[in-house]
Chains A and B, each alone.
Chain A
Amino acid sequence: SAVISQKPSRDICQRGTSLTIQCQVDSQVTMMFWYRQQPGQSLTLIATANQGSEATYESGFVIDKFPISRPNLTFSTLTVSNMSPEDSSIYLCSARREPGELFFGEGSRLTVL
């Protein structure tokens, strides 16, 4: 298994600002992903964080809104840019060491006023 730490665990943000979420894994992993969980909804994949290169975004998500970095095999960041109330969600970092399970962090709960 892998232990995934996310910071911040929660935050209240003003409209128009940006927030960066950090994800640290306790061991090297092959794949890292960022998911969003809107209130009362299931999880939707935002993007795959690729080490040393641009992230691979899912349909409906763009780099300008959700820039992602992954400088090494254990760390990634997700920035939510120019936030609006519609961005209020739980953002979850996940990781896998092939060919095993996908593990999740505790999530970062963002509220945008």
Chain B
Amino acid sequence: KQEVTQIPAALSVPEGENLVLNCSFTDSAIYNLQWFRQDPGKGLTSLLLIQSSQREQTSGRLNASLDKSSGRSTLYIAASQPGDSATYLCAVRPVNQGGKLIFGQGTELSVKP
């Protein structure tokens, strides 16, 4: 059974710092991995999608990496800003499971001015 774990559960950093969020998954049989952002009381915003054949994806100050064989992904946020404060969720799409995503518990990020 696929399980997704995110570490740390919460993180507080001063503005301007670079930071890394970690995601691990137990079964490497995945189609892709997706990172989301969720603001309090809101839906999820897709940040980056990494296909299983890819090693990384970049969007602006965000860079996500994928090491499928070791079951790990990282989300790197450069030059953090208070507006980056949110919960970041990692999710994997397992092979042969009808297209659903399995989510981690999320990392709650707070960027202090």
Contacts and interface: CB of A to CB of B under 8 A. Distances in A.
Contact of B41 (A43, A94, A98, A109): A109
Contacts of A105: 43
Interface string A29-60: 00101000000011111001000000010100
B89 interface: yes
B44 A92 contact: yes
Interface residues of B, number: 22
A101 B89 contact: no
A90 B101 CA distance: 17
B113 interface: no
B89 A103 contact: no
Contacts of A96: 99
Contact of B43 (A1, A99, A101, A104): A104
Interface in B77-113: 89, 91, 93, 98-101, 103-106
Interface in A58-113: 58, 90, 92, 94, 96, 98-107, 109
Interface in B6-26: none
Given A43-B89, A101-B49, A33 B100 contact: yes
Interface centre among A41, A42, A99 (most CB of B within 10 A): A42
A94 B19 CA distance: 29
28 contacts: A1-B46, A6-B43, A41-B105, A42-B103, A42-B105, A43-B44, A43-B89, A43-B101, A44-B103, A45-B101, A48-B98, A48-B99, A56-B98, A58-B100, A90-B41, A92-B43, A96-B99, A99-B31, A101-B34, A101-B49, A102-B34, A102-B46, A102-B93, A102-B101, A104-B44, A106-B42, A106-B43, A107-B42
Interface of A: 1, 4, 6, 31, 33, 41-45, 48, 56, 58, 90, 92, 94, 96, 98-107, 109
Among all A-B residue pairs, the 10 with the closest Cβ atoms: A104-B44, A106-B43, A107-B43, A104-B43, A101-B49, A43-B103, A42-B103, A42-B105, A101-B46, A31-B99
